[in-house]
């Protein structure tokens, strides 16, 4: 489903078996030796997600990527698992694009989780200028996803991202504003046994 040039919603992309396997990996990573944490951003506000960056760490104070979490605990960002990299490439290809991801931001939203409207523009200039896509996968509760234009004042569409959905935005859509206004508690497939939502966004630095 194309939402404009370069922006694709792929509903139910992952089977329930693939979602369950990915969920197990997300949980192990988020509660692992380098655990997910709640970033405090530049203005001093706390984000409304628990975040873990793989491959490279996104620093919420500087809005730059770095190898270790210098804004939090100085631990190194865990590597991006090879199967995550492959999955991102597979999804990008399904949307007619190509991505050899080298980082992933894994976010966990509880029932009160949300993310303000923003652009993903902290990756390297070559990546942004080439329009290399961001590939997003959602697991767990449904999210109300906001998708605007490349300027903040442009109209904003709202759509639901359900468990197993993928969303890809690259090329002319790479810098479109987006965010999550709310999570719908209790909407995850019961067989996953999850409260809340994991979202993975894969990018090439």
Ligand X SMILES: O=C(O)CCC(=O)C(=O)O
Q: Which residues lie near ligand X (CB under 6 A)?
A: 105, 107, 115, 120, 136, 143, 145, 161, 178, 180, 199, 201
Point out the residue whose Cβ comes nearest to ligand X: 199
* Cβ nearer to ligand X, comparing 34 with 103: 103
* Cβ nearer to ligand X, comparing 34 with 139: 139
The whole-angstrom separation of Cα 128 and Cα 82 is 23
* Cβ nearer to ligand X, comparing 95 with 115: 115
Angular region, 2: left φ>0, alpha ψ -120 to 50, beta rest: beta
Listing DSSP states for 100-130 in one string gives ---EEEEEEE-TT-BEEEE----S-HHHHHT
The residue written with tokens 């949300």 in the block is: 114
* Cβ nearer to ligand X, comparing 127 with 199: 199
CB of 96 to ligand X, least distance (A): 21
* Cβ nearer to ligand X, comparing 127 with 136: 136
CB of 37 to ligand X, least distance (A): 15
CB of 112 to ligand X, least distance (A): 14
CB of 2 to ligand X, least distance (A): 18
The whole-angstrom separation of Cα 84 and Cα 117 is 26
CB of 82 to ligand X, least distance (A): 21
Residue 98's Cβ-side half-sphere holds a number of Cα atoms within 13 Å equal to 1
The residue written with tokens 């504003």 in the block is: 177
């Amino acid at each position: 489903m194309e939402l404009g040039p370069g922006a694709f919603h792929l509903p139910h992309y992952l089977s329930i078996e693939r979602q369950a396997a990915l969920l197990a990996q997300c949980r192990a990573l988020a509660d692992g030796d380098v655990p997910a944490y709640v970033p405090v951003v530049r203005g001093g506000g706390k984000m409304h997600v628990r975040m873990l960056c793989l491959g490279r760490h996104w620093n919420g104070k500087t809005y730059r990527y770095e190898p270790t979490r210098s804004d939090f605990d100085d631990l190194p960002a865990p590597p991006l698992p090879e199967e995550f990299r492959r999955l991102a490439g597979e999804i990008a290809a399904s949307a007619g694009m190509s991505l050899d991801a080298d980082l992933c931001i894994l976010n966990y939203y509880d029932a009160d989780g949300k993310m303000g409207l923003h652009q993903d523009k902290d990756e390297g200039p070559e990546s942004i200028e080439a329009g290399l896509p961001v590939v997003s996968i959602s697991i767990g509760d449904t999210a109300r996803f906001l998708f605007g234009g490349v300027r903040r004042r442009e109209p904003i569409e709202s759509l639901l991202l359900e468990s197993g959905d993928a969303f890809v935005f690259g090329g002319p859509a790479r810098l479109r504003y987006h965010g999550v206004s709310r999570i719908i508690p209790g909407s995850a497939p019961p067989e996953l046994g999850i409260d809340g939502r994991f979202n993975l966004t894969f990018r090439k630095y």
